[in-house]
Amino acid sequence: MSTTTTVPKVSAFRWVPPFAQGLVRDLRVRWALEEAGQPYEQRLLTRDDQKSEEYRRLQPFGQVPSLEADGVAIFESGAIVLHIAQSSEALMPLDPADRARTQTWMFAALNTVEPMISMLNFMVMMPGGAPEGAKPVRDAVLAAIGTRLDVLAKELGTRDYLVADRFTAADLLMVSVLRALRNTDLVKSRPALAAYQARIEERPAFQKALAAQMRVFEENAPQT
């Protein structure tokens, strides 16, 4: 059970362009809190808020998410999810070996699988597209992503979850990372991973967290 006694406050963007909606990383924190059964408040930010000294004291890079709760202020989505998971059996098993395995896969999602995906998306989102000479780099990035996804699929095998035959924070972070490939066929072309992602996204806590993020964007969309 969680030991949190005050309502956590999660920072999030007031609005982002459609290509980023549903992918901003406060979604991971919202999802973790929903799985843990913890209510939370939102701290909605504009670009000016991101640059403010007040927010930079909380998040030095001006990014989201950050979390404030019980006198604790932390940033980076992985650190926040781990913080929540450490006090929630819904996200972290009690068995020491399973806890260690869960944390291992959490870091694998963020340190091994995500970086190349982030690089690919950075290249795709460059104004005017990637430079002409960047195709070999893009091809190498795609190959690296494919290799990591193949390893992930092999490790998952026929199991529904990464650790202990149950949902954990490892699945939460891994599927959060895989979702960033939604405009490619890299997951879709691997049936085991596609089924895994779909299964995790069906969870009520994920659906509730996603709806909460999207509702903010809808309510604050620029007037045309």
Reduced to 3 states, what is the DSSP secondary structure of residue 72? strand
Domains annotated for the chain, with CATH where assigned, are 9-90+205-219 (3.40.30.10), 96-203 (1.20.1050.10)
Q: Which two tokens stand for residue 66?
A: 């950050």
Per-residue pLDDT at 3: 46
Give the mean pLDDT of the chain: 94
Residue 1: the pLDDT is 39
Q: How many residues does the structure list for the chain?
A: 224
Residue 16's pLDDT is what? 97
What is the average pLDDT across 136-151? 96
| Residue 2: pLDDT band with limits 50, 70, 90 | very low
Per-residue pLDDT band at 5 (split at 50, 70, 90)? low
Rounded to an integer, what distance in angstroms lies between the CA atom of residue 96 and that of residue 52?
42
Instruction: Region of 37 please: left (phi>0), alpha (psi -120 to 50) or beta.
Output: left
Beta pairing, strands 41-45 & 66-69? unpaired
The helix/strand/coil state of 23 is coil
Please report the sign of the dihedral spanned by the C-alpha atoms of residue 173, residue 215, residue 195, residue 140: negative
The predicted model scores a pTM of 0.94
Average pLDDT over residues 5-14: 92
| 21-60 tens-digit pLDDT | 999 999 999 999 999 999 999 999 999 999 999 999 999 9
The predicted-structure confidence for 56-104, as pLDDT tens digits, reads as follows 999 999 999 999 998 899 999 999 999 999 999 999 999 999 999 999 9
Candidates 74, 64, 57, 89; CA nearest to 169 is: 89
